[in-house]
Structure 1
């Protein structure tokens, strides 16, 4: 009696192999993520400023992180190139960004009236925290000092295809490169030059606008690419290029929440706000911004209360 041969349906075999392949890739991705997370959590950040920093670190509510980009070349008393406060709400996953103009004429505890960015060179992150609290009634819970090389690498890791910006005019002075006018797709090194360019026709106000623009776009691009699997690698990179008192598990949790829940468009504010300051000159200090502190404290309060 002849045995009837079964016809092999190769289409079904192909589909089954594809499903198996996808499953295996998924398992490998999950394993790599877990392994990377474990390594990142067990690798401590640099905490050069942590011993002196007195911000409340165990808050369970909204968190304010002092973000600094220092223009240090190794000297001990460098002033800050960038002063921002990132506000994170764990309930809504919203991130808000406050840019503080470094030339604001403020009272620095123990040193009298100076530019805001002098506080860091005089007393590090703790004196800067005290200065912000005393002048603007804004509590700071954590700090993070960013190494500019780390910024470049983080951009290239999260957004390897670059970020598009519209450059208003040629930029070259002081950034060791030339950025042409017009729409440009910039990678890490060029993007850093874009935000650090000092000879802006809007003076330091233009630079603050570019900083806010780039951080907002970086956050949006990272979310759109679903970069949560890159978080362990990002943490590993930041361990080398960031000084912060935020522990790895907390930073990992915040990053995962932002990337997976999105939380909407990042809101930004610049302090001082328009109409609340005057440009003046102080002997021995130079040009400063004389600020209406009451108006700006009210603006900050309203900004942070917005949903």
Structure 2
């Protein structure tokens, strides 16, 4: 299915902060909703992929850094057993020692080596080998061990935003885009200014990519929108409504995390703060390349990229205070 735009779901971004709400797991009914996120092979949209011995993600013992790959895909128009590409990807990295959280959004057109396959865009790893291959591919790229994944589809994002009551947000400019591929069902028409975004409008905002820098601007916009979602999810009322919210979202979610894993991550997330976010690869390490006639993003130096990530992980932007005026 070819489209000039692909729906890029901020859901995988905002769902990282559902962990902040998992502190309410004791609320009646929440346990069963969380348990539904981990699907059986028969229930899973990735059930056709066999898990080879040695491909399992590393176990998290609880004291070392833990990394979660959040992915979103547009599943419209897929045939039986076809898997969407992960057109939105972010690594959420928790440090139990410093109690910090870092977010790394991955540009989907980054050209990388995919274990067991020829090199390709990084977002194809999910469709080629399922979540485990996507975790391994992004782990190789970043130099981070990826222990967990969370996947959500197109409708999951809409359901989540609606379930928390929508988001009051400032749209920085007029955003318009029309596409007849879906009978204009997913056209974008947003006005500049402060407004209330329901699920459909919020999806329009995070999908918009028709900026001068396209995906670069979009990923930055997504990270900013994340803060508004996180604040809404942490509100007392939404914590009380947690079972209801999860009930709306879990049919569209999938993860390798058990309820026990989520409980541990909930405790860590509640005690942690967001220390920084970044795009990978950063602009200074990106090269424009052509592969088989298609434009992709190359990386100047894989070692430099890994060093960049480690540098970002050592920073804490929450400690930065503006210098006093003279």
Shorter-chain TM-score: what band? Answer: 0.7 to 0.9
Matching of residue 65 in structure 1 with residue 68 in structure 2: yes
Matching of residue 129 in structure 1 with residue 135 in structure 2: yes
- Which residue number in structure 2 is paired with residue 238 of structure 1? 249
SS of the equivalent of 2:228 reads helix
Which of the pair has more CA radius of gyration? 1
SS of the equivalent of 2:170 reads strand
Give per-residue Cα distances to partners, 1:162-188, cap 9 Å, x unaligned.
230323232233433411233332122
> What is the TM-score normalised by the length of structure 2?
0.74
* 8 Å contact from structure 1 (residues 168, 181) kept in 2: yes
Change (3 A) 1:42 1:206: closer
SS of the equivalent of 2:176 reads coil
Cα distance, 1:98 vs structure 2: 0.8
Distance 2:246 2:175 in 1: 34
- Which residue number in structure 1 is paired with residue 323 of structure 2? none
Within the candidate set 89, 106, 118, 2:124 is matched to: 118
* 8 Å contact from structure 2 (residues 113, 137) kept in 1: yes
Distance 2:110 2:310 in 1: 19
Alignment of 1:1-307 (within 5 A): 34-40=27-33, 43=36, 45-47=38-40, 48=44, 49=46, 52=51, 54-60=56-62, 61-73=64-76, 74-75=78-79, 76-158=82-164, 160-174=165-179, 175-225=186-236, 227-255=238-266, 258=269, 261=271, 263-265=272-274, 267-284=276-293, 286-292=294-300, 293-307=302-316
SS of the equivalent of 1:133 reads helix
Change (3 A) 1:232 1:88: farther
Give per-residue Cα distances to partners, 1:15-42, cap 9 Å, x unaligned.
xxxxxxxxxxxxxxxx996322343355
SS of the equivalent of 1:64 reads strand
> What is the TM-score normalised by the length of structure 1?
0.78
* 8 Å contact from structure 2 (residues 60, 66) kept in 1: no
Length, aligned pairs only: 273
Distance 2:115 2:190 in 1: 41
Give per-residue Cα distances to partners, 1:41-87, cap 9 Å, x unaligned.
55453252487362124431322111111122234142222011111
SS of the equivalent of 2:251 reads helix
SS of the equivalent of 2:109 reads coil
* 8 Å contact from structure 1 (residues 172, 179) kept in 2: no
- Which residue number in structure 1 is paired with residue 20 of structure 2? none
RMSD of aligned Cα (Å):
2.7
Change (3 A) 1:271 1:83: same
- The gaps in structure 1 that reach 5 residues or longer are 1-30
* 8 Å contact from structure 1 (residues 41, 249) kept in 2: no
SS of the equivalent of 1:275 reads helix
